[in-house]
Amino acid sequence: MNPAFVADAGFGPATSSSPISATIGAAAAVDVSHLPPLLPFEKHIVAHAIMYAVVYLVARLILAHGNFWLRIALPIIVTGVALGITAVQLSGVPAISDTHMRWGIAIFVLYLFQLSLGTFIHFVKTPALARKGARAPQNYFHAVLGIFIIGIAFYQVRTGFRTEWPLYTGRGSVGNGANIVWIIWLVLIPIAYFSGMILLRRQYRQEQEAAKQRYTLTQSGGSQVDMNMTTRNGGSSMTQ
């Protein structure tokens, strides 16, 4: 916690014995109508939040596929992390000093690992399983890890607008609209995600048929062009 922000906001000196919850409660009582313009570090926080909100909404509900992650989502996510780190440096708050920051770094590392794992799964196949159109264990781990990242990201986002913003800026709590949007996402995104699993049986069937066709072409001496066409028509085994 940065004592300067607490004192400047009129909360009195911040001591190690002061409960954080009391500081947040005092921040919530601030009259936001008479606050000065956003400071540079606060602008970075807002940009950081907006970038993640956009990429999260678009990626999970509209364009969640491999090429999107690499070409659009990854640069936005890296930029969002950079904005968050810059905001911390400008504010004078110690780095990785609270739950939001620690989970933010952890989620970013997990995301990079998840992306690498998905790439590995896409390009490295187990021949015995590929002939049957079956999935390797790492595919299921990839799916479970993705669900975990989404779940912990919900928690991490909430610590940002419910705890960090009022604590470090002294501008009071974020409006209830942010909480409403967070609750809507908390309900809508899992529904959209698990609804998509209804289509998995069709995807698995297509992958099995494509695998059998590739295996048949291989045994009969089919051309590489024919095998490539079969792979494209049969769909990809990338998991979300």
Domain membership of residue 182 (yes or no) is: no
CB-CB contact of 41 with 90 (8 Å): yes
Domain membership of residue 32 (yes or no) is: yes
146 CB contacts (<8 Å, ≥6 apart)? 114, 239, 240
Q: How many CB atoms lie within 10 A of CB 46?
A: 13
Listed as own residue / partner, the contacts of 195-201 with beta carbons closer than 8 Å and 24 or more positions apart are 196/240
Q: What is the pLDDT of residue 33?
A: 57
In the chain, the amino acid numbered 234 is: G
CA dihedral 53, 59, 62, 67 (to 10 degrees): 150
Domain membership of residue 229 (yes or no) is: no
Q: What is the pLDDT of residue 9?
A: 37
Domain membership of residue 205 (yes or no) is: no
pLDDT < 70: residue spans in the chain: 1-34, 56-70, 130-134, 196, 199-204, 207-208, 211-212, 214-240
How many structural domains are present in the chain?
1
Domain membership of residue 55 (yes or no) is: yes
Domain membership of residue 113 (yes or no) is: yes
Domain membership of residue 234 (yes or no) is: no
Structural domain harbouring 118: 3-174
Q: How many CB atoms lie within 10 A of CB 73?
A: 21
Domain membership of residue 222 (yes or no) is: no
Tell me the pTM. Answer: 0.68
